[in-house]
Amino acid sequence: MTHLSMALSTPSATLPFKCIIDSHPSQPHLLFSSSRPKLNTSHIIILPPGADSGKWRNMVSFFPGFLTGGRDVQSLKVELYETIAPLDRGAEATPEDQQRVDQIAPKLEAVNSVKEPLKSDLLNGKWELLYTTSQSILQTQRPKFLRPNGKIYQAINVDTLRAQNIETWPFYNQATANLVPLNSKRVAVKFDFFKIANLIPIKSPGSGRGQLEFTYLDEDLRISRGNRGNLFILKMVDPSYRVPL
């Protein structure tokens, strides 16, 4: 599982596992409306005397989006959650499903209000992986009973620049890594220890490396992209979690 990019992988010959480190509500049809349609005054602009009507007309499309930006973010998040919910973290995604996710995620990334994620406390804690395009995590070429079937987590602490990837049922593998900031939203990832079946610690051979960029971040949702082009969507489950040093 490459969860830390969540997109990094260690050589399969070395370890038996991979490490993973607009849209508006439809309006009711007027034929079925029980009341007279109301005038939407939020779209009305009173022109000052002598104003260029063409110039002001172009501003009309700006104001509704500006005034309802927060609501649009929430509707995009709901749309994203509903789209990925039946996809088994991406293992059951068809090309059409992937295309739909690829249409929604950039819209959220475009309105990301946390411009410097590595300076934000919102990044701290344990995140659950909801969706990814990384085959090293999904392992769809294997029979389902040989894939990670339980929840997969990634934990990050920006104050210590530490990260941890956690597999649950049936393998219970873990990996810890140091993070090296490359800018305010991208890190290099250097794994230091792996733990097989949550019992057997193995020091990293030094080849478990990659990069991870945090492209959207809020209190409960994170979108990240790895240096191999993979997409990772995670939800916050425990903001108090600390990664072992």
pLDDT in tens, 71-117: 699 999 999 999 999 999 999 999 999 999 999 999 999 999 999 99
pLDDT at 50: 56
pLDDT at 23: 38
Mean pLDDT of 145-153: 93
194 closest CA partner among 1, 47, 64, 61: 1
Q: Which helix (H) or strand (E) holds 23?
A: none
Whole-angstrom distance, CA of residue 234 vs CA of residue 89:
10
pLDDT at 36: 36
pLDDT at 208: 75
Q: Which helix (H) or strand (E) holds 200?
A: strand 200-203
Residue-wise DSSP of 140-174: TTS-GGGS--S-EEEEEETTTTEEEEEE-TTT--E
Is pLDDT at 54 greater than 80 in this prediction?
A: no
pLDDT at 69: 58
Among 33-42, 104-113, 146-155, 203-212, the range scoring the smallest mean pLDDT is: 33-42
**Neighbouring C-beta atoms of residue 17, cutoff 10 Å:** 20
7 closest CA partner among 220, 215, 242: 215
Residue-wise DSSP of 24-39: -PPPPPGGG-SSPPPP
**What tokens appear for 18 in the block?**
């991979």
pLDDT at 68: 39
Compute the Cα dihedral for 85, 87, 90, 96 and give only its sign.
negative
State which amino acid sits at residue 112.
N
Is pLDDT at 241 greater than 90 in this prediction?
A: yes
Whole-angstrom distance, CA of residue 56 vs CA of residue 215:
34
Is pLDDT at 38 greater than 60 in this prediction?
A: no
**Neighbouring C-beta atoms of residue 198, cutoff 10 Å:** 13
pLDDT at 29: 32
Looking at the chain, the whole-number percentage of residues with pLDDT higher than 90 is 64
State which amino acid sits at residue 132.
T
Whole-angstrom distance, CA of residue 98 vs CA of residue 83:
9
